[in-house]
Amino acid sequence: MSRTLFTSLAKVAALALLLASLAAPALAQPANVLIFGDSLTSGFDLPEAQGFPAQLKRRLLADGYNVVVWNGSNPGDTSADGYARINEALRYNPDLVLVEFGANDMLDHTDPRVTYRYLDAIIRICKARGARVILAGMLSLPKNGPNYIVGFNNIYPTLARSDHVPLYPFMLGGVYGYPALMQSDNEHPNALGTARMVAGIAPLIEANLSKIRIAAHKAH
């Protein structure tokens, strides 16, 4: 190989390496996913590796999504508690936030209009910070009576329409009411139930991560 040809090839290789290094940060930057809710998504009474955030992260990585998943869920929180700490949780600079509150509101028999207002405020704050939001729905227990059930269950589809966010209708869909998927308290998912939750909501999360990825490519 002549010295001239070798030099030319070296220059081409160096240029390709330079272009790759310039493009890599934009392509390799992981998306920050914030799980923001109560005990249903905090991994309550489960080893960390079996909790919802960890299982979701493994699923997303396995499906080819470069993500960091932050656990911003706190057992016992109501929508009011979530509102009180949303600004602190946003320190993770999330690209996507899964908002999951309402079970404790329902158990406390909180006025659905109050829950609506707090969830609406949380969603609006997240969107104002540039994050995409997915709203996880909850359903009332039958014991609360028909009037409360209608008011509470309507919170989530109404919010999703008014705030233009995607809705996962029931966070415990396919899990609640199945003893093999629930802990002994019959309120929280066990590891298998958590895996079922992840399987149910992952396609919606991935669809929104894909939109984030497309937007990032367009921006660069």
By annotation, the residues acting in catalysis are 39, 185, 188
Q: Tell how strand 167-168 and strand 31-37 pair up.
A: unpaired
Q: CB under 8 Å to 152, separation ≥6 — which residues?
A: 102, 105, 106, 112, 115, 138, 139, 140, 144
Determine whether 24 is exposed, middle or buried from the number of CB atoms within 10 Å of its CB (0-12, 13-18, 19+): exposed
* 180, 189 Cβ separation under 8 angstroms: no
Residue 175 phi/psi, 5-degree rounding, is -125, -55
- Helical spans, DSSP H, in 29-128: 39-42, 52-62, 79-89, 103-107, 112-128
First to last CA, the chain: 38
Instruction: DSSP letter for 142, please.
Output: G
